[in-house]
Structures are given as structure tokens and as C-alpha cells.
Amino acid sequence: MLNKKGVTLAEVIVSIALISVVLVFMVKLLIELNNAETNTTYAKNNQITRVEILRTINNDLLSKTLVGISDSGSNEDLLVVTFQFSDNTSSVIRASSNTLEYTNSGGDIRAWDMDECSIYVNLADVYYTKDQNIFTMTIDIEVHTLNERNDKEFNNPIDDISISYIGNAQDFTANTLNCLGNDC
């Protein structure tokens, strides 16, 4: 009589196949966790920069009365948005593919290098509307971080720099165009 305490070749192959399936799922899970951590790091670092940019620009806009806006000097590689204020001062936003610079109404210049992301100035929009009472302005500068699914086809608007302003319609004396920027 034969000793039947051993394993057959078929049992070894089935065991290896089952272990391989489990390992494939484990590796896939580890890759997804790594991507999630990387995306969170990019978003956090860029969020701090965006908050600083928005705070700087909004502080200037809130302390002045906006009377005009223009995008003269803009081209496919550079966005230039100039705010004219009632006290005859102006502020300027300049954005290139990886740098955003803001010159406030006092002449102070702040510049930010947008690490691990790209600014798409050719997709930037400046919209404003004016009715009898209210003037509104929205600036949207598209930013693509290195996050997964954040590119020209799948823009994640959370990474964009969006500036809004609401003012008195009588204060705004600029031209009657309602759209500036490269996408108008």
C-alpha cells in the first residue's frame, strides 16, 4: 500500500494560483493607496499656495472700488489681467505656465512658483456682467496638478484659481464687453 500523506502536483499548482490571485489584489490595493497618498500631498501643497494667492488678491479687491478691468498684454503663453480702481491705482495679475505674479495697488509684487502643477493661461477666462444695480466678475485660471485624472481632458476645478468680485454697477465704468481672456 502506498503512503498517501503527500500532495499531488495538481494541488500544488492550484495553491500557487490561489496565492497569485490574492497577491495581485494586494499589489493593486497598495498601488491605489500610494496614488491616493500622492494625490493628497499634491492637493495639500497646492491648496496652501492657492489660498495665499486668493487671500492676497481678495484683500486688495475688497479694500478698493473696482471701476475697470482689461486683459491687454495677454497671449497664449501669458495672462495679464489689470484691475483699475476709483483712486486711479491699478493691480495686475500675470500668469505663465508655472508662475503667478500679482502687483497690488500699492506697487508691491508677490510671485508664486506653482510647483508640481501647470497653469493653462490659454484656457483662462475673465467674465463680468453688469445690470442696473450689481456688477459681478469671475476670473478662472485653470491649474492642472500632477493628480490622477487632472489634465486637459479631465480638469479638476478644485485645483483652479477662481476669483470673484461683486460691486455696485454705478462704480464700474469700463467698456461694455462681458468676456475677456483667451477662451472668449
Please state the length of the chain: 184
- pLDDT tens digits, one per residue of 45-78: 677 888 888 899 988 888 888 888 887 777 888 8
Closest CA to 95 of 120, 116, 117, 70: 120
Cβ-contact 134, 103 below 8 angstroms: no
Residue 89 above 80 pLDDT?
yes
Q: What is the mean pLDDT of residues 12-29?
A: 91
* Cα–Cα distance measured from residue 80 to residue 117, given in angstroms and rounded to the nearest whole number: 19
- The pLDDT of residue 94 is 92
- pLDDT tens digits, one per residue of 137-158: 888 888 887 666 666 677 777 7
DSSP letter, residue 89: -
Query: Which residues, in sequence order, are CB contacts of 25 under 8 Å at separation 6+?
Result: none
Q: What is the mean pLDDT of residues 74-87?
A: 87
pTM: 0.69
Only one residue has cell 498517501, namely 4
CA-CA-CA-CA dihedral for 92, 96, 101, 105, to nearest 10:
0
More confident residue, 131 or 23: 23
